[in-house]
Structure 1
Amino acid sequence: MRVHICAVGRMRRGPERALLDDYITRFGRTGRALSLGPLSEHEVEDRKGGGMPAEAALLERALPQGAIRVMLDERGTLLSSPRFARHLAEWRDDGASDLAFVIGGADGIDPTLRETAQMSVSLGQMVWPHMLARVMLAEQLYRAATILAGTPYHRS
């Protein structure tokens, strides 16, 4: 199952980019044997200032057709890492070919796009910068792969 992070904004070089790239690589190595991956990133940017509706249109074009859609949203479900891993395994085992995680812009995800989600997930009650949210998501994807692989990375 291919995994996608579809996000508003461009991540420049720096520590966040290095961490994101590291977790994408780690997920690729660990997930391959589990039929998870590759993990790809799709960045969109609304240069005309159209707000959430314009960002939603750009994200819609970036989403793979037929992908399971998971929105990162502060109103979403709080999941433990093992439960997150179980969701990935269930989607994979149910035959999903693409899984897309959507991270909106500074104002969030337009309600019309949010309504198309199969699931909404929250990274917690605190608000995180969008670039860190990508890193945190990528780390949780890697952690989920290690849980499914039975490696000692995740200790609970």
Structure 2
Amino acid sequence: MNPSRYRILAIGKIRKKWISEGLELYLKRLPGLTITELKDSSPQKEADAIQTQLKNNETLIILMEEGRPLASIPFAEYLKALGSKRLVFVIGGANGIAPEIKKMADLCLSLSPMTFPHEIARLLLVEQIYRATTIIHGGPYHRS
């Protein structure tokens, strides 16, 4: 599992310092993982911005509360099963993700049945990618 094969497209900017600091911590541990921030706007403009960023060779995973819930170990197993495929995770804005983007998704993933602000969802996703990496490599970070 190589974090340089992963990238995150996220609507909106991080405004809270403590979230930025948390993201910096995990991004140092995940060299190559990139996050691209897209301007928050109308759902259609956000969908257009997401579509222009997508690449043909990527597996599209969108985060949404009604998506498929995966615990940390099954999430790690899912990522491992994808082998060397390139992945793009999409985190929508306040209005969620447009239906046309949902239809394109290879996986609709739920971090929780609860709703989180996009900033917190971004931090949770990056932490879970790090956790999955340590699970796959047998590191001590995850305790089951």
Q: Identity percentage over the alignment?
A: 38
1:144 counterpart residue number: 132
- Once the two structures are superposed, what CA deviation does each residue of 1:64-123 show, in whole Å capped at 9, x if it has no partner? 33210001011101101010001111112xx41x20000001010000011100001101
Task: State the SS of the aligned residue for 2:77.
Answer: helix
RMSD over aligned CA atoms reads: 1.3
Deviation at 1:127, TM superposition (A): 0.8
CA contact (8 A) 1:71 1:101 kept: yes
C-alpha distance in structure 2 between counterparts of 1:64 and 1:11, whole Å: 24
C-alpha distance in structure 2 between counterparts of 1:109 and 1:66, whole Å: 21
* Unmatched runs of 5 consecutive residues or more in structure 1: 29-37
Q: Which 4+ stretches in 1 moved above 3 angstroms?
A: none
Deviation at 1:135, TM superposition (A): 0.2
1:39 counterpart residue number: 33
Task: State the SS of the aligned residue for 1:128.
Answer: coil
Deviation at 1:13, TM superposition (A): 6.0
Deviation at 1:4, TM superposition (A): 0.6
Task: State the SS of the aligned residue for 2:82.
Answer: helix
* Unmatched runs of 5 consecutive residues or more in structure 2: none
C-alpha distance in structure 2 between counterparts of 1:60 and 1:42, whole Å: 13
Task: State the SS of the aligned residue for 2:130.
Answer: helix
Task: State the SS of the aligned residue for 2:30.
Answer: helix
Aligned length: 141
